[in-house]
């Protein structure tokens, strides 16, 4: 492949990308961390809410006529510990004394089918470990009020299964200056199921069912720009926003959001590598462990009178800036017409 010349349009694109990365970094400066007295059962996020994580993604795509099978695996290492330590005093239970770093990963397998050039539908199975859900905030065994512990469960070895339905629209964004702009709108419905035996034990103060089933709707609009060397891909730039909406769990609608900015360098027509930068935020409302605390148990909040613990409502948030590496393999096995 000959070395590609740099058109003047790309200089402007590079400046735009640099500006967007700068603005994205500024978003990470804000701090959101709910502060509660220890007597409150409200969940806490990491000691450093705005953290820098590392991630890696490997994706393989095959085209066979109108079918597009896909295999993907992603691993994320969260560099900051979960910080299970009590805000006051010392921990009383063994699990709450532990300190760990969340390491979520998943593998996704399925296929798209092209209905038209602009519309494709897909079905996927996702196997994951290390995901964190609102119910992973649990309490220790019943104890005097000054001895109880609340902490995030270590879920790095817990499996969960998700079925995903996908409808994706893609069309050329001719309203933008230059050529080779593609707008994409993904609509996904996730059905996730997992079992957590630690929910349904006497050690969990607000004991509840071990089986959890959650449904969410995921919306992801995005823009892609393809820089070609002749008729071959040379580099791809993308900007995407992804929003996760709870359908049947929690009190909050938006529970997760991602902003992606990245690029791919095409080493060959089949293989590309690249980097992406994302700003991510998660929200959790009260867990079932909090809701199931016996009515007779009382808690306090700053400046307030004691209340029944199971009436406590909270929204806990975590923010992170994630630097990710991507490896992409794409093959076309379509039969010539």
Confidence (pLDDT) at 28: 35
| Residue 293 domain-assigned (yes or no) | yes
Please report, for residues 46, 75, 119, the alpha-carbon distance to residue 66 in angstroms, rounded to integers and kept in the order given. 45, 30, 11
| Residue 325 domain-assigned (yes or no) | yes
| Residue 1 domain-assigned (yes or no) | no
- CATH code: domain of residue 17: 2.40.160.40
Q: Is 64 helix (H, G, I), strand (E, B) or coil?
A: strand
Question: Strands 50-63 and 315-332: what pairing?
Answer: parallel
| Residue 3 domain-assigned (yes or no) | no
How many folded domains does the chain comprise?
Answer: 1
| Residue 2 domain-assigned (yes or no) | no
Confidence (pLDDT) at 104: 95
Evaluated on CA atoms 170, 171, 172, 175, the torsion sign reads negative
304 by Cβ neighbours in 10 Å (0-12 / 13-18 / 19+) ranks as: exposed
pLDDT, tens digit (0-9, with 9 covering 90-100), for 159-174: 999 999 999 999 998 8
For the chain, list residues with pLDDT below 70. Answer: 1-40, 45-50, 81-99, 141-148, 300-304, 337
pLDDT, tens digit (0-9, with 9 covering 90-100), for 307-323: 888 888 889 888 999 99
Q: Which domain holds residue 170?
A: 8-332
Q: How many CB atoms lie within 10 A of CB 295?
A: 9
| Residue 99 domain-assigned (yes or no) | yes
317 touches 49 (CB < 8 A): yes
| Residue 337 domain-assigned (yes or no) | no
Please report, for residues 85, 150, 204, 309, 326, the alpha-carbon distance to residue 143 in angstroms, rounded to integers and kept in the order given. 17, 12, 11, 14, 48
| Residue 312 domain-assigned (yes or no) | yes
191 touches 215 (CB < 8 A): yes
């Amino acid at each position: 492949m000959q070395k590609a010349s740099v058109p003047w349009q790309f200089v402007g694109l590079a400046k735009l990308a640099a500006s967007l990365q700068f603005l994205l970094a500024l978003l990470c400066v804000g701090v959101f961390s709910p502060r509660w007295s220890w007597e409150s059962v409200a969940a806490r996020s990491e000691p450093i809410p705005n953290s820098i994580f590392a991630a890696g993604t490997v994706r393989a795509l095959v085209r066979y006529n109108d079918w597009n099978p896909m295999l993907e695996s992603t691993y994320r290492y969260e560099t900051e510990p979960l910080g299970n330590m009590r805000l006051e005093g010392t921990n009383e239970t063994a699990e709450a004394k532990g300190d760990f770093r969340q390491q979520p990963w998943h593998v996704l397998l399925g296929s798209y089918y092209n209905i038209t050039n602009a519309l494709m539908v897909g079905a996927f199975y996702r196997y994951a470990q290390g995901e964190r859900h609102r119910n992973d905030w649990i309490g220790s065994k019943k104890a005097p009020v000054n001895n109880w512990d609340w902490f995030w469960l270590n879920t790095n070895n817990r499996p969960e299964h998700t079925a995903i339905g996908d409808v994706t629209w893609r069309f050329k964004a001719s309203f933008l200056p230059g050529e080779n702009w593609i707008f994409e709108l993904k609509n996904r419905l996730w059905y996730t199921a997992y079992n957590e035996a630690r929910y349904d034990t006497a050690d969990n103060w607000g004991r509840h069912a071990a089986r959890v089933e959650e449904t969410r709707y995921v919306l992801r609009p995005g823009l892609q720009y393809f820089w070609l060397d002749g008729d071959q891909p040379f580099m791809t730039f993308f900007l995407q926003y992804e929003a996760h909406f709870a359908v049947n769990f929690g009190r909050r609608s938006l529970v997760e959001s991602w902003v992606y900015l990245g690029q791919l360098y095409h080493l060959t027509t089949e293989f590309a590598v690249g980097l992406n930068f994302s700003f991510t935020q998660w929200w959790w409302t009260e867990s079932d462990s909090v809701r199931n605390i016996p009515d007779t148990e009382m808690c306090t909040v700053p400046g307030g009178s004691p209340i029944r613990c199971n009436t406590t409502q909270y929204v806990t948030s975590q923010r992170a800036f994630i630097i990710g590496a991507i490896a992409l393999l794409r093959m076309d096995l379509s039969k010539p017409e």
